[in-house]
Chain A
Amino acid sequence: MALETIDAAAKRGVLAVQEYASLSGRALGNLFRRPFYRSDIFLQADVIGVGSLPIVILTGFFLGGVLALQSASTLTQFGATAFTGQLVSFSMIKEIGPVVTALMVSGRNASGMASELGSMIVTEQIDAMRALGTDPLKKLVMPRIVATVVMLFFLVILSDAVGIFGGGFVSVIMLGQDGSQYFHTAYQSLAYPDILQGLIKPIFFGLIIATIGCYFGMKTRGGTQGVGRSTTQAVVWSSILIITCDFLISRTLIGIFGR
């Protein structure tokens, strides 16, 4: 009995991965097929990118600030408070900026995609779209993937900048450090691989957020309760995959560049 349960669970897991890969692959394949839903991409970019600006700016600023606070209190013990800017910029650009921004965008948009597409599934709007001769993967999924990948890239850059500024604000105003020294160390210590690491991550995270949100939305079953379930699963799985993927990318790039 236990074996049967494990067997069934394993089969469900493999099927889910297969369906996820198929949906993502077909949606991305639509990038090169007509019609190209340009206006839908811009609409989604507005919803996902511009709509996420307030949370990204707020979280970025306070994360930078708290990083400066924590770093400074530790560095004081070694008489190295001058390196606060370096620590903040390193952490923000390589890790905190991409990961936290992705998690915030995931919480806001993966859930939004899952609930929106899920509602369309349970009210037969997706079937109606297919019956009207439109491929929902092309019309609904592809624009969300493109918009999330592009907008998350810029949101992360913005979050990094705001975070470093927030760290500077705390260092200068609250900790009485020299602003010029803070920004100088923050800038000077950065190397090309650090920037690269910070810019590669959002591309993968954006893919995860959009494909997971759309996948759980499109496989919604069971009415409004099913929509709620899909929304929760989308946020949970995208968060898990973002952090797992972050580890893998960091390990790979540190292996390649040595930092």
Chain B
Amino acid sequence: MTGVATNGATPPRARPSDEPVVVFEDVSIAFDQKQVLEGVSFQVRHGETRILLGPAGVGKSVLLKLTNGLLRPDSGRIFVFGKEISAMREEDLFELRGAIGTVFQEGALFDSLTVRDNVGYRLLEEHISDEETTNRVTEALRFVELEHTLKQFPSQLSGGMRRRVAIARAIVTHPRLILYDSPTGGLDPITSTTIIELVMKQRDVSHTSSIVVTHRLQDAFMLATHHFSTELNHMVPLGEHQADPNTSFMMLHQGRLVFDGTTAELVNSSDPFIQSYIG
């Protein structure tokens, strides 16, 4: 993995603007007197994909839940789209979350609703017509290549299909920020690759800002070293020692952010924990 460098010759894409989409300022949170996150600060700029690494139980999912306001920090400030969400009322957060797509660890699909109603949940809540909802749901399902599952229930789908439906649900409203919580956790390698390809497709086709939580290094490096080719309709490697310039890494260890930097900086890090983690 050594020698990976950011390559200026990556496929043409929008450069991230300077305005950050997400800002964490010295955020801490504890549960039952156990400190889960301590003094975490980072930014996600427009069009940027931040991969959050760390061992299981280190607080990666908590960080995502803080980002969309499902949890509130004990101290510190969190800004999303320039608004301080850590100081917002729950009622106002519901509106803001309309611009954030979230893919939960196990998909978290509503088991009593069909795939169509799951994916179109937000559209139905906004009283968008049935016809338009079906069209937009079909479009989102086509993105994850599952348009044939429209009338099925989540229980009729495999684990990988459920994750893909969850991705479709997250992107159906074209959010400005997507949060992926271990999208490949518990899946076999082939299905994991399919999911990562979808995350990459969303990154390279729609240029949506995102935070991808994972503890699977192979997924993280695949995201950093490949790009989605719209001509070939699948992902292709960027080339030897090349990494996507808008994909960078963060690493949590014992509640603290121990790394925040590019792919090259990560693989060349001399930190003993990072070295042992990335092997």
Contacts and interface: CB of A to CB of B under 8 A. Distances in A.
Given A35-B125, A123-B111, A127-B70, A133 B94 contact: yes
Contact of B104 (A124, A134, A135): A124
Contact of B106 (A123, A131, A133, A135): A123
A134 B109 CA distance: 14
A214 B105 CA distance: 25
A127 B97 contact: no
Interface residues of B, number: 22
A50 interface: no
B121 interface: yes
A127 B94 CA distance: 12
Interface in A5-36: 35
A132 B69 CA distance: 12
Contacts, number: 49
Interface residues of A, number: 13
Given A124-B108, A127-B104, A132 B90 contact: no
A129 B125 CA distance: 11
A129 B65 CA distance: 13
Given A133-B94, A133-B95, A134-B125, A128 B100 contact: no
Interface in B186-216: none
B68 A124 contact: no
Contact of B90 (A125, A129, A135): A135
Contact of B91 (A124, A131, A135): A135
A120 B158 CA distance: 19
Given A131-B97, A131-B102, A133-B95, A125 B125 contact: no
Contacts of B94: 130, 133-135
B122 interface: yes
A129 B169 CA distance: 11
Interface in B100-120: 100, 102, 104-106, 108-111
Q: Which 5 interchain pairs have the tightest Cβ spacing?
A: A128-B108, A124-B108, A131-B102, A133-B97, A133-B94
Interface of A: 35, 123-125, 127-135
